[in-house]
Amino acid sequence: MNEKEFIVLMAEDDEHDIMATRRAWKANRMANPLYIVNDGEECLEYLYRRGAYTEPASSPRPGIVLLDINMPKMDGLETLKAIRESLEFRHLPVIMLTTSQAEEDRVKSYDLGANAYIVKPIGFDNFSEAIRTINLFWKLVELPGGKG
């Protein structure tokens, strides 16, 4: 199978989840580089190369965004809405990866154009398997704009 490499941008404010994601990346030997921002505002700064991300080397274009819903400053739903309103990023795959099991959050995520909604599994092994599966799925999917 042809290995596709793409940047994964994760917006997550919980340090435990960030550490678990990095551990899962390493445990699953994922080749796709992982970049992490801590809230929705920082995610948009990264995407639009503003503030600390003005240098392209510090903000390579992601092929996928993983968004938590519950973040400070700008939550994941507001961030998703901003991404989908942008001509530049409206086709960028966005996966909501969250602890929220609320039907309202799930419905609103899909209404705003999320490509998937995944509730973070409990326990490292389950979480690691979910991360591996997400990565494998998006390696198989043909992404827009030649990213896959």
The answer as to whether 148 is a domain residue is no
Which pLDDT does position 93 carry in this prediction? 92
Q: Residues 118-146: pLDDT tens digits? A: 898 888 888 888 888 887 777 766 656 54
Q: How far, in Å, CA of 110 to CA of 130, rounded?
A: 20
Write out the residue range of the structural domain in which residue 37 sits.
7-141
Domain annotation covers residue 99: yes
Cα torsion 109, 10, 119, 1 to 10°: value is 100
Q: Is residue 119 part of a domain?
A: yes
For residue 106, is it within any domain?
yes
2 in a domain, yes or no? no
Alpha-carbon distance of 62 to 117, in angstroms, equals: 18
Residue 31 is part of a domain; what is its CATH number?
Answer: 3.40.50.2300
- Quick one: pLDDT at residue 53? 94
The confidence score (pLDDT) of residue 66 equals 94
Instruction: Evaluate whether residue 147 is within a structural domain.
Output: no
The reply to whether 109 falls in a domain is yes
Give the pLDDT confidence of 26-74 residue by residue, as tens digits: 988 888 899 999 999 999 999 999 999 999 888 999 989 999 999 989 9
Q: Could you give the number of structural domains in the chain?
A: 1
